[in-house]
Amino acid sequence: MAAATPLLDLPRLYPRQRTAIYAPERYSLIEASTKCGKTMGCMVWLLDQAWTHGQPGRNYWWVAPIFGQAAIAFKRIRLGLHVTPAPPDINLTSRTIELPNGATLWFKSGDKPDSLYGEDVFAAVIDEASRVKEESFYAVRSTLTHTRGPIRIIGNVKGRKNWAYQLARKAEAGEPDMSYHKLTAYDAVAGGVLDAREIEDAQRTLPEAVFRELYLAEPSDDGGNPFGASAIAACLAPLSSQPPICWGVDLAKSIDYTVAIALDAQGRVCRFERFRAPWQETLQKVQRLTGRTRAAVDSTGVGDPIVEALQRAGSGAFTGVKFTSASKQQLMEGLAVAIQQRRIRFPDGPIRAELDVFEYEYSRTGVRYAAPAGQHDDCVCALALAVSILPQAQPHPVTFKVAAL
């Protein structure tokens, strides 16, 4: 009896998703909302390409900014792949999947462009393209030269100063053999992938620039800055002479500064201290600065014993705040709302400089906020801590576990 022909079971795509991903052009540039199904849809497409056109020795690539993201795609395909009756050959070490027809799916990192040259590739996906190095795109493009294989370039938008945004504009302008597509969160709602209430909640709680990039695929003029250059400039004001009602203190890590920022009752910065000192001196200086005024203090890592010592001293109302990805996201989004609604004021100088270069990027686990490599974010963190305990500057209160005083 002849062996049964292997069958591949693929999920169905909603109409706009299928139109974008299965476009007939060799290059499909897809700028998309988070969680709209672009990644899953391109997994379906790449599997379909390998299944339909594959044969022994043919390679099909999934390329992500770093290995961690490539590993996520590998895991999703590995766990969701249903082939009967013959299962694919999956190698967990090399992160490859060999289908019954001999075609091989590879999951690659774009972190080291030189490692991507050399192979002949028959179809490729570049995931989170705005975060992939431009040199990696050049390398992947070279692997498709001999095969004239198709490629899907997908991801959230992240400002306008990256190769993926520029290439998408070429596709949008009608460059031959290229197609451009935008998938918003509302397309995903219409396709049954997302709940409209979740989109409404994101719009209410996220800074406008972040929401528009992540859910509407509309690039920010500020290149991934969550506060907005014009909003930052509109909040500039001289240092207030009024008394403080709260402090935010970001304690030094490694080469960073300890920064203490106080706000008055109108949300204006009225005290600003930035210094490097040994821990005991830092402890004494924070006590002198804050007095008995309420203060939110970074208690992450080595900051924890400092906060405990401040609380034991009993001279003020100190709230310890541990920075995690979730708590930092809440803090920064609260600060962004306060800046965009002009609820706070701060002087020009180090605070403004750090706010101007601060960045966000979307990851699989949420939005990551940080200073660019080689830059500081001590002023930003101290200001965000102060805003978090200034009620009129924080429409959506941030709640943290408060250590006993």
At 53-94, the pLDDT tens digits run 999 999 999 999 999 999 999 999 988 887 767 778 999 999
Closest listed residue to residue 162, CA positions, set 184, 130, 194:
130
- Please state which of the ranges 118-132, 224-238, 292-306 shows the lowest mean pLDDT: 292-306
* Percent share of the chain, pLDDT over 90: 57
CA distance 354 to 350: 6
- How do residues 243-252 score in pLDDT, each as one tens digit? 999 999 998 8
Q: Within 13 Å and on the Cβ side, how many CA atoms surround 228?
A: 22
Q: What is the mean pLDDT of residues 39-54?
A: 94
Question: Percentage of the chain surpassing pLDDT 70?
Answer: 90
From the options 3.40.50.300, 3.30.420.240, 3.40.50.2300, 3.40.50.720, give the CATH code of 229-393. 3.30.420.240
Burial class (CB in 10 A: 0-12, 13-18, 19+), 47: buried
**3-class SS of residue 109:** strand
Cα–Cα dist 109/120, whole Å: 17
Tell which wins on pLDDT, 149 or 299.
149
Positions of CATH 3.30.420.240 in the chain:
229-393
pTM above 0.75, yes or no: no
State how far the Cα of 355 lies from the Cα of 383, in Å rounded to an integer.
10
Pick the CATH number of 14-216 from 3.40.50.620, 3.40.50.300, 1.25.40.10, 2.40.100.10: 3.40.50.300
pLDDT in tens, 301-358: 766 777 788 877 765 688 889 888 888 888 998 999 899 889 999 998 889 988 988 8
Residues of the chain with CATH 3.40.50.300: 14-216
Residue pair 47/97 in contact by the 8 Å Cβ criterion: no
DSSP string for 35-75: TSSHHHHHHHHHHHHHHHH--TT-EEEEEESSHHHHHHHHH
Q: Could you tell me which residues are beta bridge partners of residue 98?
A: 89, 104
Alpha helices by DSSP H, 176-228: 185-190, 196-205, 208-216
Helix, strand, or coil (residue 179):
strand
Measured CA distances, 195 to 13, 99, 200, 207 (Å): 17, 35, 9, 20
Give the integer Cα–Cα distance in Å for 80 and 343. 48
Question: What confidence category does residue 364 fall into, taking pLDDT thresholds of 50, 70 and 90?
Answer: low
